[in-house]
Amino acid sequence: MKNSSIIYGISANLDLVSTVANHLGIEIGKNEVKHFADGEIIVENYTTVRGKDIYIIQSTCPPVTERLFELLLFIDGLRRASARKITVIMPYYGYARQDRKANPREPISARLVADMLQMAGADHVVVTDLHTPQIQGFFTVPIDDLSATPLFGEYFSHNLKGKDIVVVSPDHGGIARARRLSTHLGPNTTLAIIDKRRPRPNQVEVMNVIGSVKGKTAILVDDILDTGNTLAEAAKALINAGAMEVYAAVSHPLLNDGACQRIEDSPLKEVIVTDSIPLEEKKKTPKIKVISIAPMIAEAIDIMENNGSMSKVYDIFKTKGEIA
């Protein structure tokens, strides 16, 4: 790595930052989040950044708005301190589900977040598994959307070897994500879709399983695990449709409102998630297994430092055996 580069964490992904920095042998900048009596915050930077390339790793996970505003303040401070280039790495992009006007007079919050990041001074944005790829169109600066699918693919290739696998999308909108995992697992892997209805927010009524799952090992794949309702109901539907066992692979483990208990009580055998969102101790359960995206992010930073092709970012898992 160049000695003109610095990596920072703020508050959300400090363990991830440390692991990435160790992979790269890069300096971790020193900073501190301070809270004033009236609730205002400031992010103090104690490392000189003039003329340097800066990488900030910060998921906008709960508390979402506070994490986002910390990031915006820090970017602004770095820009005013004459950093050469500011790359924001957001493993989880909060507000991504508000990507369109679903009802009259609603904001498009995902677009607003993109505007604020760029206005603050971000020169490049790297995310992981955006809720919808169209969000990339909200940016005028370069944006890279890394995918955890190859990590999941390597994990299941090792751990479900020899089984008849069907990859299942929990809704029609996730079929492209399911197809990518299916392709990674080989030509004999089939696809299925859960046809569901959502009568009100965070409530799911599963209707039908479209595709053959009888006698197969099913893998549900999704980008966000929020309350766990979707996965739990989908797993029940798959078992009722004849699936032998059900696994899940989800990029971002929010795990709100009793999600962990819901997963434990469900037919799901195992739920594989990434550390894009740090898993609190109270949210750790026997069924949830965490795979780190640190090697992928470290490889992405190394590629950016050397002006390489971002398509090479996933090779590290095959060549260095990061997944087992």
Per residue in 93-146, pLDDT (tens digit) is 999 999 999 899 999 999 999 999 999 999 999 999 999 999 999 999 999 999
pLDDT score of 84 more than 80 = yes
pLDDT digits (tens, 9 = 90+) for 216-256: 999 999 999 999 998 999 999 999 999 999 999 999 999 99
Structural fold of domain 5-147+294-319 = Rossmann fold (3.40.50)
- Can 196 be counted among the known catalytic residues? yes
Burial (CB < 10 A; 0-12, 13-18, 19+), residue 157, is middle
Residue 321's pLDDT band (boundaries 50, 70, 90)? very low
Per-residue pLDDT band for 206 (boundaries 50, 70, 90) equals low
Assess whether pLDDT exceeds 70 at residue 35: yes
Q: Which sign, positive or negative, has the C-alpha torsion 259, 260, 261, 266?
A: positive
Helix (H) or strand (E) holding 182: helix 175-185
Q: Report the alpha-carbon distance of residue 164 to residue 94 in Å, rounded.
A: 36
Stated pTM of the model: 0.92
Q: In this predicted structure, what is the pLDDT of residue 199?
A: 65
Q: Does domain 149-291 have CATH number 3.40.50.2020?
A: yes
Of residues 249 and 320, more confidence is placed in 249
Answer yes or no: same fold for 5-147+294-319 and 149-291: yes
pLDDT of res. 1: 60
Please tell me which residue, 227 or 205, carries the higher pLDDT value: 227
* CA gap 301, 90 in Å, rounded: 13
**Regarding predicted confidence, which is higher, 320 or 34?**
34
Annotated active-site residue in 196, 236, 282, 287: 196
Domain range list for the chain: 5-147+294-319, 149-291
For tokens 């500011």, name the residue.
86
- Tell me what the mean pLDDT of segment 177-186 comes to: 94
Task: Specify the pLDDT at position 3.
Answer: 72
